[in-house]
Chain A
Amino acid sequence: MTRWIDVTALADIPRRGSRVVALPMGPVAVFRTGDDQVFALLDRCPHKGGPLSQGIVHGHAVTCPLHNWTIEFATGAARAPDHGCTPRFEVRIVDERVHIAVAQSLAEAAE
């Protein structure tokens, strides 16, 4: 079971930028791409835990600010030649607001 959590208005996220939200599973980076799609990843680079939210967003990917790994939004996976994966979360937009899916169990655990 998943539960949708309303985190922010779409307009609050800069295009090709991001915002960070503290969720029960940890800090989550919410990215908005140049073509206005929204993705959410755990804000931890699979390399050495760099804050992905602080990277440069290009296409449907972000380049980590610490050592330049590029992480794909669609999968959370690092682009070759690097290897690694960061958890990603489902996102939906309802009335210009961004909702993130959180597993029910996690949501309960936090309560």
Chain B
Amino acid sequence: MDMSLRQRLVVVGNGMAGMRTVEELLARAPGLWQVTVFGAEPRPNYNRILLSPLLAGEKSFDQIVINDLTWYRDHGVTLHANDPVIAIDRDRRTVTTASGMVQAYDALLLATGSNPILLPLPGRDLPGVVTFRDADDVTRMTEAATAGGEAVVIGGGLLGLEAAYGLAKLGMGVTVIHLVDRLMERQLDHAAADLLRQELERRGIRIRLSTQTNAILGTDQVTGVELATGEVLPARLVVMTVGIRPNASLAASAGLTVERGVVVADTMATSDPAIFAVGECAQHRGVCYGLVAPLWDMARTIADQLVGRAEAVYTGSQLATRLKVTGVEVFSAGAFDGRDGTEAILLTDPARNRYRKLVLEGDRLVGAVLYGDAADGDWYFSLIKAGTPLGAMRDLLVFGEAIATGGSDASPTAAVAALPDDAEICGCNGVTKGHILAAIAKHQLTTLDDVKAYTKAASGCGGCAARVEQVLALAIGEAAAAPAEKPLCKCTDHGHDHVRAAIREQGLTSISQVMRALDWKTDDGCATCRPALNFYLLIAWPGIYRDDPQSRFINERAHANIQKDGTFSVVPRMWGGVTTAAELRAIADVVDRYEIPEVKVTGGQRIDLFGVKKEDLPAVWADLNAAGMVSGHAYGKALRTVKTCVGSTWCRFGTQDSTSMGIALERMTWGSWHPHKVKLAVSGCPRNCAEATIKDFGVVAVDSGWELHIGGNGGIHVRATDFLCKVTTDDEVLEYCAAFLQLYREEARYLERTAPWVVRVGLAYVKARIVEDPAGRAELAARFRHAQTFAQVDPWAEIIAGRNAAEFRSLDPVEA
């Protein structure tokens, strides 16, 4: 298209709203408008929200730039940065800039944002008094902070608290002065605001509520702040965050209708149809917004208008807020403080520092405040926006999405699948589910990074990354999403699965071969990849690959758990939890002989000797070996314990001999290495005294045989097992167990326990391999047993016989 014929769009303001409108316009009709942007700031546009992490040192400026200068060039957008527009001539349709440039327009877009409010206090012009609005403010604050000392933040709203957090993190002593009797009163109720105050105080930030400032003190630099009470707080830096005012002066001097902001219609046009306004400078239906969410809808409407879709309108936005202070989760939305005719559901858990308040009007959610755990915030917000009737969900609503929408079975992906296409996934950048799905289809995206790059979703605060991944999984399937697996560590670009496949397919048999064949970026890896490679080689080439002790974590190298004082613990195997007087006597003798400070019965039904010196380990083991005891592998990514209950031998409810079954399982599996630790248990009846249903492989006896369960664990996230199948004979139990463990260790990723692995590959897959394919099961079990012929060597006996002896000897002391 001939340049001279193109219509000219001039944008005043190189900020979030203005540039978003330009992006939306380019996405609709790249060549239609010739775009010129004037910016008062001397830089390309950046994500203003992320000034808070920039201040706190959690992000660099480059990381918060939205479009760099190359982007402007590549998209034919002319940028005049550092040259504010000072006048508009509406008759001649031109703008004039501070440098004297005159530029003609066919359409003009005002995107001038807001200005921070400066309280009219004496001393407010002193050096050391700053606001928090742009990148220069952050530079001023970080420079002040390098010298340390005291800072006072006036205004305890969202911006003030984020500034206070950042400055405290940079090492300043910080006091927040707030006029009202609670923090963030426009977003939080009293209870949540109080929890927030306590948390910030725990982090060393002083908070003064219901406090008024009289004056800022100092002669040629700030020295303090005087309160209404006369008290003086010393300060080298004063940050004023008491509010913002739409920046509408340019519009007012051009004679446009201005109230608080530049008045716009639903088409986003001002009182002059050739001039639009967007973002914080605009006033729509009486409202001026101060958050980004409304910008996205406004920008879309203007872009539509500019490509001739006259019917496109903006009708207003509902808002939700999150605080961006690491480790403090605060979320609020809607009519959080209640109003006539509403009722509240409260959940308070002081011990875990959690609070939730849901405000209901009839059968609908109209407001929410979450403190402590805000993960469900987006879900509540979507209920508020959609006005969804709650119905039976009301009873469980306060427990969050997973529980309220059908119990723990409902997978997160299923929840995302149920969302409508216009549901917002990324609040920071206003990206909907439909938008992400379209980008994935159009550009064949397979990774989170791709989706970030193409849609900007998850590139703001990052809080929605998990949900974006779920949308990705939904679009291309969980399995297909897997190749996009993260690199194993910084030494390589390859993920676990790729490395494993290469080891098998290319016949790689040593760590150095793997590193060479797969272009490792470091000479000999790191503490993350070496143990993983050692494990993968061990499983791929049983009896051929020679274990590399230097690639094992100290516990596995020394066959004992390192303690925080550098001593070790020793746990002998106690088959199925059964012991004898002779074994107990030998343990007692060892304790006396080596002055072992503590003896404890473990949660895994055996005995732990704590505080053994490393040099004593071989001697302790030799004594235990002599009494017939071997290593319990309590330290390894290996088979740990097989817990049992007494079963039919003694118990009046027992249906089978669970103790003997447990011992048989332990005899078969001991010494085996795995991606993570593996625990087994056998219970004699469904009362399940051995807790078999939270084990990696659990066996529960019933009258007619054994029920087999897989993929459970205790730990931080307790997971009960999935039922695999029922078998009748003891031999079947052993075969199914061997096959299951072999499948797990051949296919799971290093450090992935059975529970997350089963969740990842699906129970159906495991059943298909173990239950529905008898020939495959027999082969897996045979491979397990073959590998065990090399693995079942007691590591204690090996070391006593001299293997890796250097590990346990210190060099002779040198007196010098």
Q: Residue-by-residue, is A19-59 near B (CB-CB < 8 Å gives 1, otherwise 0)? A: 11111100100100011000000000000101100111111
> In the docked arrangement, what's the CA distance between A57 and B525, Å?
9
Q: Residue-by-residue, is B524-559 near A (CB-CB < 8 Å gives 1, otherwise 0)? A: 111100110000000000000000011111110010
Are B564 and A24 neighbours in the complex by a CB distance under 8 Å? Answer: no
A11 (CB) vs chain B CBs: closest residue: B806
User: Is A3 in the interface zone, CB < 8 Å from B?
Assistant: yes
User: Is A82 in the interface zone, CB < 8 Å from B?
Assistant: no
* A35 cross-chain contacts in B, Cβ below 8 A: 523
Are B550 and A20 neighbours in the complex by a CB distance under 8 Å? Answer: no
Query: Would you give the shortest CB distance from B282 to chain A, in whole angstroms?
Result: 41
* B552 cross-chain contacts in A, Cβ below 8 A: 56
A-B contact pairs, 17 of them (CB 8 A): A5-B814, A5-B816, A15-B550, A16-B524, A19-B809, A19-B811, A21-B814, A22-B813, A24-B814, A34-B524, A54-B554, A54-B558, A56-B554, A59-B522, A65-B554, A102-B816, A111-B816
User: Is A74 in the interface zone, CB < 8 Å from B?
Assistant: no
Are B524 and A24 neighbours in the complex by a CB distance under 8 Å? Answer: no
A35 (CB) vs chain B CBs: closest residue: B523
Query: Would you give the shortest CB distance from A60 to chain B, in whole angstroms?
Result: 9
Cβ-neighbour of A51 out of B523, B566, B807 (below 8 A): B566
Query: Would you give the shortest CB distance from B588 to chain A, in whole angstroms?
Result: 29
User: Is A63 in the interface zone, CB < 8 Å from B?
Assistant: yes
* B531 cross-chain contacts in A, Cβ below 8 A: 56
Are A56 and B527 neighbours in the complex by a CB distance under 8 Å? Answer: yes
User: Is B562 in the interface zone, CB < 8 Å from A?
Assistant: yes
Known: A48-B564, A58-B530. Is A14-B806 also a contact (CB below 8 A)? Answer: yes
Q: Can you add 11 more A-B contacts, CB < 8 Å, to A15-B550, A17-B550, A23-B813?
A: A16-B550, A17-B807, A19-B809, A34-B523, A54-B566, A56-B526, A56-B551, A59-B526, A68-B527, A70-B526, A110-B816
User: Is A90 in the interface zone, CB < 8 Å from B?
Assistant: no
Interface residues of A (CB under 8 A from B): 3, 5, 7-8, 12-17, 19-24, 27, 30, 34-35, 48, 50-51, 54-59, 63, 65-66, 68, 70, 102, 106-107, 110-111
Name the residue in B554, B555, B564 with the highest tally of chain A Cβ atoms < 10 Å from its Cβ. Answer: B554
Are A66 and B562 neighbours in the complex by a CB distance under 8 Å? Answer: yes
User: Is B729 in the interface zone, CB < 8 Å from A?
Assistant: no
Cβ-neighbour of A70 out of B527, B813, B815 (below 8 A): B527
User: Is B408 in the interface zone, CB < 8 Å from A?
Assistant: no
User: Is B219 in the interface zone, CB < 8 Å from A?
Assistant: no
* A7 cross-chain contacts in B, Cβ below 8 A: 811, 814
Cβ-neighbour of A63 out of B527, B564, B807, B813 (below 8 A): B527
User: Is B810 in the interface zone, CB < 8 Å from A?
Assistant: yes
Q: Residue-by-residue, is B772-816 near A (CB-CB < 8 Å gives 1, otherwise 0)? A: 000000000000000000000000000000000011011111111
A-B interface, 8 closest residue pairs, ranked by CB to CB distance from nearest:
A63-B527, A22-B813, A16-B550, A21-B811, A56-B527, A34-B524, A54-B554, A107-B816
Query: Would you give the shortest CB distance from A72 to chain B, in whole angstroms?
Result: 13
A62 (CB) vs chain B CBs: closest residue: B527
> In the docked arrangement, what's the CA distance between A68 and B527, Å?
8
- Number of contact residues on B: which range applies? 20 to 34
Name the residue in B549, B552, B815, B816 with the highest tally of chain A Cβ atoms < 10 Å from its Cβ. Answer: B816
> In the docked arrangement, what's the CA distance between A66 and B567, Å?
12
> In the docked arrangement, what's the CA distance between A57 and B522, Å?
13
Are A63 and B558 neighbours in the complex by a CB distance under 8 Å? Answer: no
Cβ-neighbour of B550 out of A8, A48, A56 (below 8 A): A56
* A17 cross-chain contacts in B, Cβ below 8 A: 549-550, 806-807
Query: Would you give the shortest CB distance from A21 to chain B, in whole angstroms?
Result: 4
Query: Would you give the shortest CB distance from B510 to chain A, in whole angstroms?
Result: 13
> In the docked arrangement, what's the CA distance between A66 and B554, Å?
10
* A63 cross-chain contacts in B, Cβ below 8 A: 526-527
Query: Would you give the shortest CB distance from A39 to chain B, in whole angstroms?
Result: 15
Query: Would you give the shortest CB distance from B802 to chain A, in whole angstroms?
Result: 14
Are A21 and B810 neighbours in the complex by a CB distance under 8 Å? Answer: yes
> In the docked arrangement, what's the CA distance between A41 and B549, Å?
21
> In the docked arrangement, what's the CA distance between A17 and B566, Å?
17
* A19 cross-chain contacts in B, Cβ below 8 A: 806, 809-811
Are B527 and A20 neighbours in the complex by a CB distance under 8 Å? Answer: no
Query: Would you give the shortest CB distance from A64 to chain B, in whole angstroms?
Result: 9
* A8 cross-chain contacts in B, Cβ below 8 A: 811
Cβ-neighbour of B810 out of A14, A16, A20, A107 (below 8 A): A20
> In the docked arrangement, what's the CA distance between A3 and B814, Å?
13
Are B815 and A110 neighbours in the complex by a CB distance under 8 Å? Answer: yes
> In the docked arrangement, what's the CA distance between A63 and B816, Å?
29
* B551 cross-chain contacts in A, Cβ below 8 A: 16, 56
Query: Would you give the shortest CB distance from A14 to chain B, in whole angstroms?
Result: 6
* A15 cross-chain contacts in B, Cβ below 8 A: 550
Known: A3-B816, A20-B811. Is A58-B527 also a contact (CB below 8 A)? Answer: yes
* B526 cross-chain contacts in A, Cβ below 8 A: 56, 58-59, 63, 70
Are A22 and B558 neighbours in the complex by a CB distance under 8 Å? Answer: no
Query: Would you give the shortest CB distance from B548 to chain A, in whole angstroms?
Result: 8
* A50 cross-chain contacts in B, Cβ below 8 A: 566
> In the docked arrangement, what's the CA distance between A64 and B815, Å?
27
* B558 cross-chain contacts in A, Cβ below 8 A: 54
> In the docked arrangement, what's the CA distance between A3 and B816, Å?
9
* B814 cross-chain contacts in A, Cβ below 8 A: 5, 7, 21-24
Are A58 and B811 neighbours in the complex by a CB distance under 8 Å? Answer: no
* B555 cross-chain contacts in A, Cβ below 8 A: 65
* A55 cross-chain contacts in B, Cβ below 8 A: 527, 554
Query: Would you give the shortest CB distance from B240 to chain A, in whole angstroms?
Result: 32
> In the docked arrangement, what's the CA distance between A55 and B815, Å?
26
* A16 cross-chain contacts in B, Cβ below 8 A: 524, 550-551
B522 (CB) vs chain A CBs: closest residue: A59
Known: A15-B550, A50-B566. Is A22-B810 also a contact (CB below 8 A)? Answer: yes
